Structure 1
Amino acid sequence: MDILIDYWPLFRDGFLTTIELFLLAGVASLVLGTILAMLRVSPVPVFRATGTLYVTVVRNTPLTLVFLFFVFAYPYLDIVPLSFFTAAVVALTVYTSAFICEVVRSGINTVPLGQAEAARALGLTSGQSLSQIILPQAMRSVVPPLVSTLIALLKNTTIAAGFSVAEAGRIRSVLSDDGENQLVGLLWVAFGFLILVMILTLVQRTLEKRWSVAR
């Protein structure tokens, strides 16, 4: 307990930054991933090809390389300057959205074809049918894999520590510089992540229970 007490501000600030990274990247990834999924099931060939190309390229690119691009290569483009924190959020969003896209797309494929046909019979366009009829049903069926992807995002936030973002992954290096027991510090970090994962799991079970009743 001595390390946790003595370095409590370090642990507190580190995990607050981790949670902030997770929430911002998580929301952005859900939005972008859902848009990509809609592109992948679009009847327009160009949209499908665009979504497929994005997912194929990003899923096969290591997350560290995505970080390297936005932290070191992106500034040379002279577009909009990004802080290290913002660059980390963008990198996590770009990477995670490709996986969320596939999760959402699998959920869309579970919706019976008759739902889309009924929507067209009512005069809805393809976009209206997808956003108002198919997508709400699809999201209910993909809660477990979606939360699993978000848990992976939570763990991936530790990579930001290697790019000057003071989050939970940086705690070990600070303890090392001060000559403290790194193993004990890492155990506390692991315990903190365990609590966060348990919270996400609780949210998953709550949504599953609520939406299963709604069906």
Structure 2
Amino acid sequence: MSAVKIIPARHWGQRVIAAVLIGLVAFAIYMVATSRHISWSTIPQYIFDETILDGIQLTVLFTVLSMVISIIVGAILATMRLASNPILSGFASLYIWFFRGTPLLVQIIFWFNIQLFVPTIDIGFFQVDTNVIVTAFVAALLALSLNEAAYMAEIMRGGLLAIDEGQNEAAKALGYTPADAMIRIIFPQALRVIIPPIGNQTISMLKTTSLVSVVAAQDLLTRAQNIYARNFLIIELLIVASLWYLVMTTVASGFQYLIEQRIGRSSNDPMGPWRAFLRVVRAEGTKG
């Protein structure tokens, strides 16, 4: 008896849509590439321009510092949000509500102009102008960090809630304090849930830093704007900045993929969290 040959169904609708999309993309590339109003020859001259490279360094610095600060503040806020004390929980909820509910651009402008209603900072006999402390860099960093902390708090709260309550109860039965149980049992397991969205937020932050150009914080976009304000090569410099943003986000995405792959190997085991917990219990028993 001859084997039955299975012929897959032809999805003509998908093929038509794919052909239309390819045509539109090809047309857009052709229109941009053949435009007489873009000086393509000048773009390579600015790719490794010293001013642009300095802006890239500051963009990366903004991203790293703001993410570190927001993770620390977010962890504190998440813990407060889950606390049984209504004042702590209420403060964390109010913070998250306010910073997620107002535009980041407004927050950047606010911190940059804070000297309008706080002209000086007085601590006893010590007095200093607010402008001396809250520079454009500090104002941008404060806005990025405090805004991102609100999102980090919710990410971490979701990760902590994803851990089975039974592990917390078992840790208490073994004599762990709430702080020890959180640090040594709950939080390490919550990292599996927390790290992927943190990676996404980091990639998003690389692009979000471009908003600080509104206060001339000398990031990548600000440096590009400074150059095209002199030579009027607006599109060309924006293409240069876009290419560097693509490079940075691609590298960050690669790191995120590697980290998630590493986490995924251990998370494939449904008993993984409990095995980790049992290892800690055995270690404590050995010490005893």
Normalised to the residue count of structure 2, the TM-score between the two structures is 0.70
For 1:156, the equivalent position in structure 2 comes to 208
Normalised to the residue count of structure 1, the TM-score between the two structures is 0.92
Q: Which runs of 5+ in 2 are unaligned?
A: 1-40, 122-129, 267-271, 273-288
Take 1:166 and 1:82, find their aligned partners in 2: how far apart are those partners? 15
Take 1:136 and 1:76, find their aligned partners in 2: how far apart are those partners? 43
Counterpart mapping for 1:101-112 below 5 A: 101-112=153-164
Q: Is the aligned partner of 1:131 residue 2:183?
A: yes
For 1:194, the equivalent position in structure 2 comes to 246
* Aligned pair partner of 1:165 in 217, 230, 233: 217
Q: Is the aligned partner of 1:144 residue 2:209?
A: no
Per-residue deviation at 1:161? 1.1
Decide whether the 8 Å contact of 2:74 with 2:152 is kept in 1.
yes
* Aligned pair partner of 1:83 in 128, 135, 138: 135
**Letter paired with 1:95:** N
Query: For the pair shown, which has the larger CA radius of gyration, 1 or 2?
Result: 2
Take 1:34 and 1:74, find their aligned partners in 2: how far apart are those partners? 30
Point out the structure with the larger helix share: 1
Per-residue deviation at 1:192? 0.8
Select the structure with the greater relative contact order (CA < 8 A; seq sep ≥ 6). 1
Per-residue deviation at 1:75? 6.4
Q: Is the aligned partner of 1:177 residue 2:218?
A: no
* Aligned pair partner of 1:56 in 67, 72, 97: 97
Q: Is the aligned partner of 1:10 residue 2:58?
A: no
1:76–1:144 CA distance, 2 compared to 1 (3 A): same
* Aligned pair partner of 2:109 in 68, 73, 78: 68
Take 1:211 and 1:6, find their aligned partners in 2: how far apart are those partners? 39
Decide whether the 8 Å contact of 2:225 with 2:237 is kept in 1.
no
**Letter paired with 2:235:** L
For 1:42, the equivalent position in structure 2 comes to 83
Take 1:33 and 1:74, find their aligned partners in 2: how far apart are those partners? 27
Cα RMSD, aligned residues only:
1.8
**Letter paired with 2:238:** L
For 2:149, the equivalent position in structure 1 comes to 97
Take 2:169 and 2:222, find their aligned partners in 1: how far apart are those partners? 52
Take 1:134 and 1:44, find their aligned partners in 2: how far apart are those partners? 20
Take 1:75 and 1:108, find their aligned partners in 2: how far apart are those partners? 41
Number of residue pairs the alignment of both structures matches: 215
Tell which deviates more after alignment, 13-22 or 134-143: 134-143
